[in-house]
Chain A
Amino acid sequence: MIPLRVALSKGRLLDPALALFSRIGVTPATDIGRELVFASTDNRYRFLLVKPVDVPTYVEQGAADIGVTGGDVLLETDRDVLRPLDLAFGACRIVVAAPIGETANPNGRVRRIATKYPRIANRFFEAQQIPIETIVLGGSVELAPSTGLADWIVDLVETGHTLSANCLEPIAEIASAHAQLIVNRASQKIRRVEIADLINRLSKELPC
């Protein structure tokens, strides 16, 4: 049998994803270490470790049959994948955050928004009919206001500690999301029995 290819996000979602698979008896055949590709002990699954933002691409293009990715990544990348299961871990909010106590727009110009999520930010402010200038950053977005690079940020928040440590506070919530199981459209058709079985087993391990 050809193994199902599962793309997993490196980083904060990896451990809970592996733990969930382990609860249905699917465990890596080897110590993961620095491996980027590894099989399950029963050889029915082949895991690929990729950057979180790349998981939907792997799945959409058919390089992986299924994937585990963050809701924030799905919102930002807008890839054509199926989303049959909310995995109930990796809870996060995407918020607009401003310097604590800010009350006005002092120089009356278009707000500059630093973010790793330009599409989410643009869509949100467009809907609010608020003109903005987007500054795309790869990380440490919270530094942008204090260094004068941007006025506000749009970023992922789990606990809010990082925001407050950088003298920022949320002023609007754009979305809240969990990790999602995503599926390639063609795989869903061709391997629907295996995938339905996997979804069924995983869903039984999730909190009601």
Chain B
Amino acid sequence: MNQLKRLTSLQSAPISPAVSAVEDRLRGLFRAWAYVETRFDVLQPARDYMPHELDRIYTVSDAADGALALRPDFTSLVAREAATVGQAVVRPLRRCYAGCAFRRPERAGEHRREIHQAGVELIGASGELADAEILTLASEGLETIGFDRAQIHLGHVGFVHALLRSSDLTDRVETSVCDLLARHDRPGLASLLRGLSIPAQTAKALVSMLDLVGTDDVLDRARSLTDEPDALRALDQLETVFNLLDHSDLPTPVILDLTEVRDRSYYTGIRFEGFDAASGFPVLRGGRYDQLLGQFGADEPAVGCAFEVDRIASSYVENDRRGGEAVLIGFSPLQWPEALATARGLRAQGNRVILNVTSLDSADLTQYEAAHRIDRIVVLETDDAISTGGGPR
């Protein structure tokens, strides 16, 4: 029973320390790129959200202010703030955030309601260089959190929109086509298209979209599928961004991917997702959303991305082993100054140092060492000689 209690108490820990560790690393990166952190209240006026958004928003009521919403995301809050401050603040704005958003599960069986995110928004900047900045930052972010087998998949919603528009489908059929494309259901899509009276070339283009992923010839293959000016313009923009990244020696490879049709009503230009072999879910999403600020009265371009911190944190423990050792220093009360000096020296070398301020005995130390993944124990001897125990594991 004691073992059961111990194990279950671990599961009821408030928030994994890895969440904070991931947030810290990303915050450091955002700061280095000169993004200013903005903090928002968890409770926001529910009237600020569109009626269709309220389906997935938790609301509470308040006698003074009426209906309040638990913030469902950060991007709309950053956009609203940018629109509110207006042009008084010189553009472009570089904003970042880290925290928890709350959303009702979309489907039965989904249990994720508190979504830890950290992200950046570049507001008031159009063009491929701004896109490239966000993608580079995304790539460095994945490296910062230790994902060394990650990939960023980059597409452009303009291509999908143009292809669908040229197909001249009814709204209902377009929804069905996009559902099948989103599931990569090639047999289902082929079957549906066979029953429609659309040109064979258009049907072929829609099915061929599922193959538009890779690096070398994806853009050429995409161009061969359509002569729609909007589609070709989207591909040109994508190529410019891709070429900028291709010459940037990014830590995370970028793959061209035009197979994604989800989120097409939100994004207006490039859109991308980050994946890592350690997680079965996207760990990063982003793209250009030039129409969002218009909802708040400011017609401005914007591009950004969000890291899925809780998804990342679930596979972060091993990554946290990077960047020096975890060292515990044992000392007597009289050795406090020496202990501090030793800790400073070790920290300056990039290690994480814990001071044994509770006078753990050797048995306790061993237990603490195992529980907190200590790499090395340094015990200050009474004659100031230092003995070390443990060792890198």
Which A residues contact B (CB, under 8 angstroms)?
2, 57, 60-63, 77-86, 119, 183-192
Contact = CB atoms under 8 A, between A and B. Distances in A.
B257 A82 contact: no
Contacts of A61: 280
Nearest to B153: A189
Interface residues of B, number: 24
Contact of A85 (B107, B187, B257, B279): B187
A196 to B, nearest CB: 9
Contact of B187 (A78, A86, A186): A86
B184 A82 contact: yes
Interface string B297-314: 000000000000000000
Most buried by A among B183, B187, B280: B280
A189 B151 contact: yes
B184 A79 contact: no
Contacts of B282: 185-186
B184 A183 contact: yes
B275 A190 contact: yes
B184 A186 contact: no
B85 interface: no
Given A85-B187, A186-B281, 18 more contacts: A60-B280, A62-B280, A77-B109, A78-B108, A80-B107, A81-B183, A82-B184, A82-B185, A83-B183, A83-B184, A83-B185, A84-B210, A85-B186, A185-B281, A189-B153, A189-B257, A190-B151, A190-B275
B255 interface: yes
> 4 smallest A-B Cβ distances: which pairs?
A62-B280, A82-B184, A86-B187, A189-B275
B276 interface: yes
A156 to B, nearest CB: 20
A62 B314 CA distance: 12
B185 A186 contact: no
A187 B186 contact: no
Contact of B280 (A82, A83, A119, A184): A184
A184 B183 CA distance: 10
Given A78-B107, A119-B108, A185-B282, A190 B277 contact: yes
